[in-house]
Amino acid sequence: MARLLSEYEKPERKHHEILFMSWVGWVFDFYDLILYTFLVIPIGKELHLSNLSLSYILGASLAATAVGGVIFGVLADHYGRKPALQWTILTYSLGTFLSGFSQDFTSLIFFRVITGFGVGGEWATGQTYIGETFPPKVRGRYGAFMQTGAPVGMALASIVGGFLTPEIGWRACFFISALPALSVVYIRKKLPESDMWLARRAAPDESAALGKFFSLFSREYRKLFAQALILTIFDMSAYWFTYSWMPGYLNQQRGFSIAKSALWMIVTQAGGFLGYLSFGFFADKFGRRPAYSVYSVIMALGLVMITLLWDLIAANPSLILVFMFLVGFGTGMFSGYGPLFSELFPTSIRNTAMGSAFNLARGVQFLTPVAIAVIAERYGLGGGISLAALFALLTGAWIWTFPETKGKRLES
């Protein structure tokens, strides 16, 4: 009997192809979602939308990721990781393309919901793909490699939103952002299906697709799923309280130009790239739980300094950049979810559990940009964003309710 890809001593070409295409899908998944935050000012001016209306649109797209995460998670467990990866990329690319045709609040929110629906499915599918095919001893670091697509996607959105938009307009930015759909051709022709999923599919007790989702609430899994959902809600809140209005915070409250705001966001994402990349090595060496705690404290420190204590460092731009870098570096804890959830849930419901926990938590963030806009009326955008520090610390504490899963072999 041929050995599974996860049983190889070290990753080979097939592993790297799976990693690369999962990474590409995540780069543009995150890019398509976050690009909107860099376009809110020109969109608001042209379509005559208030900050609160623009927040509702972002919130709706985040809520849609919850639906997409559940549905595509179920589809991936039933039909395979490879087709689900293609479907998610096509869906979010279509939504982004259509966003360029928006004429009012209603059409824009509808197209952004389509984008969010596709965005919700890609992350879990890619992380499950990697978790099932890479050797256990390096699962953490390669899951982290995929996660670096998030800061790369945000940096790309910073460049397009900050520098290209003034030249070609926000509509054209949405149109060109549909190009990643072409990657589906490569996935279809080159990538192998997860052999662990194929082996599990052949089992005689394979359950119906809808049953996979409801099994998360069975006596066997409901406590674990609840723990996973709470962890991701805390961390997602930390992330979206930070980034949903960060470009607007720098522009409106700190007086930065759109281009300068974009440059400073790129610094944050440079920290994010290194944080995402290093988290996997840290987690593989010291464990999942210590890694989450250390990175959450780093993120919280950076957030407090660039919001509540801004006046203490305002005279020293270099120091501000250091703390913005730390904010990004601390978000590296998102690299832990793919390996952690792969190790917690069995193959039969792995993608469903991962997609549901991650994206239901992201869907809850529907209220986050709206909450910040409301808080900002009294305390400024910085006051709303500062709440992210609290959620970062809650993440670092809650992880200790989980068992340590470092190096665990996955069941087939």
SS (H, E, C) 194-222: CHHHHHHHCCCCCCCHHHHHHHHHCCCCH
Q: Is 202 a member of any domain? A: no
pLDDT band per the 50, 70, 90 thresholds, residue 411: low
From 173-182, 192-201, 344-353, 361-370, the region with the lowest mean pLDDT: 361-370
For 227, residues 6+ apart whose C-beta sits below 8 A from its C-beta are: 398, 401, 402
Closest CA to 239 of 100, 372, 355, 401: 372
Question: pTM of the prediction?
Answer: 0.76
Alpha-carbon distance of 403 to 288, in angstroms, equals 9
Q: What is the mean pLDDT of the chain?
A: 87
Q: What pLDDT is stored for residue 209 in this prediction? A: 58
Q: Is 1 a member of any domain? A: no
Residue-range definition of the domain harbouring residue 281 = 13-190+212-401
For 368, residues 6+ apart whose C-beta sits below 8 A from its C-beta are: 59, 62, 237, 240, 241, 244
Q: Is the pLDDT of residue 204 over 70?
A: no
Q: How wide is the angle at C-alpha 195 spanned by C-alphas 182 and 116, nearest 5°? A: 40
180 versus 398: which is more confidently predicted? 398
What is the pLDDT averaged over residues 347-360? 84
Q: Is 124 a member of any domain? A: yes
Alpha-carbon distance of 146 to 142, in angstroms, equals 6
Q: How wide is the angle at C-alpha 162 spanned by C-alphas 277 and 150, nearest 5°? A: 20
248 versus 155: which is more confidently predicted? 155
Q: What pLDDT is stored for residue 398 in this prediction? A: 97
C-beta of residue 129 within 8 angstroms of C-beta of residue 148: no
Q: Is 40 a member of any domain? A: yes
Kind and range of the H or E run holding 125: helix 105-133
Q: How many domains does the chain have?
A: 1
For the stretch 1-31, pLDDT in tens is 568 888 888 888 888 999 988 899 889 988 9
Q: Is 199 a member of any domain? A: no
Q: Is 411 a member of any domain? A: no
Determine the distance from the C-alpha atom of residue 101 to the mean position of all C-alpha atoms in its chain, rounded to a whole number. 26
From 48-62, 188-202, 212-226, 328-342, the region with the lowest mean pLDDT: 188-202
What is the pLDDT averaged over residues 192-198? 87
160 versus 202: which is more confidently predicted? 160
- Of the ranges 92-106, 196-210, 258-272, the best mean pLDDT one: 92-106
Closest CA to 309 of 396, 257, 385, 239: 385
For the stretch 41-68, pLDDT in tens is 899 999 999 888 888 898 888 889 888 8
Q: Is 200 a member of any domain? A: no
Packed helices 317-330 and 288-306: angle between N→C axes, nearest 10 degrees: 150
Q: Is 82 a member of any domain? A: yes
Q: What pLDDT is stored for residue 394 in this prediction? A: 97
Report the CATH number at residue 234.
1.20.1250.20
DSSP 290-353: HHHHHHHHHHHHHHHHHTTTHHHHTT-HHHHHHHHHHHHHHGGGGGGHHHHHHHHS-GGGHHHH
pLDDT above 90: percentage of residues in the chain: 32
86: tokens are 């293609």
> Which residue type sits at 411?
E
What is the pLDDT averaged over residues 159-187? 88
